[in-house]
Structure 1
């Protein structure tokens, strides 16, 4: 799997099993994985950024 693959938001939502509204709320709060805005205005998330973001969620859950 290419760690620099660009995932669509739909792919990210499916993997995380969350609604788009939840993802948008996370973005507005600065809690979502880092997004890339393409020239056409669409958002993408690097696979490596999603994996890193998920790793921080595991660490937070373990600390609780």
Structure 2
């Protein structure tokens, strides 16, 4: 979240709405995002597409 400069609470709200990149849940319960998914999501946000709204 430091890379995208977003507070965790804001990111988790987006995730709850289905507007965040696809996340992978690890066996220890932590969440991770693949670089390709993050980059695609970030690109979509920059274009002001429906994926961001």
Q: What TM-score, normalized to structure 2?
A: 0.83
Q: Classify the secondary structure of the residue corresponding to 1:30.
A: coil
Structure in which a larger fraction of residues adopt helix? 1
Partner of 2:29: 41
Aligned residues: 49
Q: Distance in 1 between matches of 2:10 and 2:46?
A: 19
Gaps of 5+ in 2: none
Q: Classify the secondary structure of the residue corresponding to 1:16.
A: coil
- The 5 A counterparts of 1:22-61 are 22-60=10-48
Higher relative contact order (CA 8 A, sep 6+): 1
RMSD of aligned residue pairs (Cα, Å): 1.2
Name which one, 1 or 2, has greater alpha-carbon Rg.
Answer: 1
Gaps of 5+ in 1: 1-12
**Runs of 4+ deviating beyond 3 Å:** none
